[in-house]
Amino acid sequence: MGGSFFNVLNLRVLYHEGNHLKGVLVKYLFLGIFCSLFLSLSAFGFEHTNVYIHGFGGANYLILKDTGDAKLKAEPGYMFGAGVGLKFDNTRVEIEGAYRYNDFKDSVALGPNVFFDGGKTEKLTCFVNFFYDLPSDWFIDYLRPYIGLGAGYKFDWEEMRIWVFEYSQSDWGATYNYTGNGSTGQVILGVGLPITRSTITKIEYRLLKDENVTNHSVLLNLDRSF
């Protein structure tokens, strides 16, 4: 998302069927690759215990920047993803793919006789994350708190519906679509609770901020080491 979101509201974004189809294919190809990676790694054994895979999912809250014009808001959405990582003492490096989805709230006035009639936003990301596991003696012994930073790339898809009331003519509406991509980053805070020697369940908070949009995600994460 980004500045393009507000261009859509000004009716300056055109819908191109070819770009939309290409974006859908990229989205599902991207998800397929990471799901295949996640599932296939579980079939292999490793001599060392510093390799792990993980899957996560939870709620995603989208906060739109207030421009002083239309007061647009998003419904609570969801996020899920998977990845693979390496652990080195108190540090970890991992590669992951994730998907976020939110609906926009409808019935928002954009101007005289013009209303925003809802829509949706989707975000697909690929990240390289770097983590530091805080010393356990700082906290309760069986908890594993950690902090992390991620650098990666994103793909955005947006769909927005505009409804116009005209007194002299019949009412009409239009749907506007936008696709975009670019570099991005995220901050991660979490705490882990070991279930077994090789399995850890975690509760995470993630912050991903674009130009005009901020994603707040609360997730349940399951790690399995080999």
Structure tokens at 65: 């920047």
Dump pLDDT digits (tens) for 74-105: 889 999 999 999 998 889 999 999 999 999 87
- Say whether pLDDT at 193 is over 80: yes
What number is the average pLDDT over the span 31-57?
A: 63
Predicted local confidence at residue 98, as pLDDT? 96
- pLDDT (0 to 100) of residue 14: 39
**Among 155, 79, 156, 159, which Cα is nearest to 120's?**
159
Predicted confidence at residue 170, as pLDDT, reads: 64
Provide the b/e sequence for 49-84 (b: ≥16 CB within 10 Å).
eebbbbbbbbebebebbeeeebebebeebebbbbbe
Tokens of 31: 């998800």
Least confident of 19-28, 73-82, 166-175, 209-218: 19-28
How confident is the model over 165-194, as a mean pLDDT? Answer: 83
160 touches 40 (CB < 8 A): no
Rounded CA-CA distance 68/72 in Å is 10
pLDDT at position 121 over 50: yes
Instruction: Return the percentage of the chain with pLDDT > 90, whole number.
Output: 42
pLDDT at 184 over 90: yes
Region 40-54: mean pLDDT is 61
Is the predicted pLDDT of residue 5 greater than 50, yes or no?
Answer: no
For residues 2-24, give the mean pLDDT: 45
State the pLDDT confidence band at 17, using cuts at 50, 70 and 90.
very low
| pLDDT given at position 200 | 92
* Angle formed at CA 217 by CA 215 and CA 220, multiple of 5 degrees: 160
Alpha-carbon span 15 to 95, nearest angstrom:
33
Mean pLDDT (the chain) is 78
Fold of 4-225: Porin (2.40.160)
Q: Are 207 and 184 in contact (CB under 8 A)?
A: no
Token pair of 86 as six digits? 């390496």
C-alpha dist (Å) from residue 52 to 24, 60, 94: 30, 25, 9
Q: How does residue 72 score in pLDDT terms, banded at 50, 70 and 90?
A: confident
- C-beta separation of 93 from 104 below 8 A: no
Assign 53 a pLDDT band (cuts: 50, 70, 90).
very high
Residue boundaries of the structural domains of the chain = 4-225
